[in-house]
Structure 1
């Protein structure tokens, strides 16, 4: 699912990719699956320019693709969670991809100040690739989490941070490697002034070795 990344260097904005969204929507709509009633008719399914939002479903009525102009609900484990479950702003363009059970497995979110691509575990986020900016301040980040217990309900699931790679105008560039509990243990940094550093941390976050 697409939710807001939280971390010391994580960026949580989204960007505008109208060309990508339109092209993907057209390709998915043309593969021969049904389109949910009340959204787009089958006659319109091959049209890349559609006002509002629409859902593509398979022959069993399971959602397989959603294009929305506002933050949509989350479908996981046969349950629908309200849009407020997601982090981030409401007025964004969202592309949501669902598996054969209708469960969300990833997507793209685009707004005026950044973009986010997400790939999911069965009950939470696995990989985030995102950008954000405001005026001349911004950057990009890649985060990967540990899988945790895939059978845990979404509101109880935990996916500790595993790896975070970033480049931004405030912190320079960096790579953080975490243990299975999500605690940072190795940090590689290059500050904005070009100063490099390597730090090894204990389980409480204290630096035990530094170069």
Structure 2
């Protein structure tokens, strides 16, 4: 692999290092294989480059991983309010592990999605709903949500912020059709 650093030097540091806005690793064919950037970079997939404003995610530091064809396959984003690691399908995110925080409150989540039609260009991919969500929050407790192919929650396991456990089975309209315990803690019929 060849290495190419991009983004001109900002200034010389006292240690002799030069500050750069981005750093790229490209292979012998000139295809990007890795990018470290201090701003939101463009998306490279399917042999096309899409502008940075089409990228999901906050402003922050980006580490982008590309396959042998130069297509983006995942990355790490770090901002002042959270961080995430994503692994991608051909034209959409597949798995995202993320954290967010504000003051003394924080949350962490793992989310998995079905693969959309890989022949669709990135701009034509419909919203891909999560099928599995596993998370916890200092306020809301912990949860596991299993959803149908349309993204509708169907099974929810949770321990709320007051440490009350619950399992719910929902129909396609979101109505509870089964629940354990039968009556949520603290409520009586």
Query: TM-score normalized by structure 2?
Result: 0.85
Distance 1:197 1:166 in 2: 15
Q: What do residues 20-40 of structure 1 show as CA deviations (whole Å, max 9, x unaligned)?
A: xxxxxxxxxxxxx11236558
Segments of 5+ residues of structure 1 without an aligned counterpart are: 1-32, 41-47
Q: What do residues 122-159 of structure 1 show as CA deviations (whole Å, max 9, x unaligned)?
A: 00000000101000111100000011211111122243
Segments of 5+ residues of structure 2 without an aligned counterpart are: 9-16, 181-189
Distance 2:6 2:105 in 1: 42
Distance 1:34 1:114 in 2: 32
In the alignment, is residue 143 of structure 1 matched against residue 116 of structure 2? no
In the alignment, is residue 74 of structure 1 matched against residue 43 of structure 2? yes
Alignment of 1:1-211 (within 5 A): 33-36=1-4, 38-39=6-7, 51-90=20-59, 92-158=60-126, 159-211=128-180
Distance 2:86 2:54 in 1: 15
Question: SS of the counterpart of 2:123?
Answer: coil
| Larger-Rg structure | 2
RMSD: 1.9
Distance 2:37 2:98 in 1: 19
Distance 2:67 2:121 in 1: 18
Distance 1:49 1:180 in 2: 49
Structure with the higher strand share, 1 or 2: 2
Following superposition, the deviation at residue 206 of structure 1 comes to 1.4
The number of equivalent residue pairs is: 172
Q: Greater relative contact order (Cα 8 A, min sep 6): structure 1 or 2? A: 1
Question: SS of the counterpart of 1:155?
Answer: helix
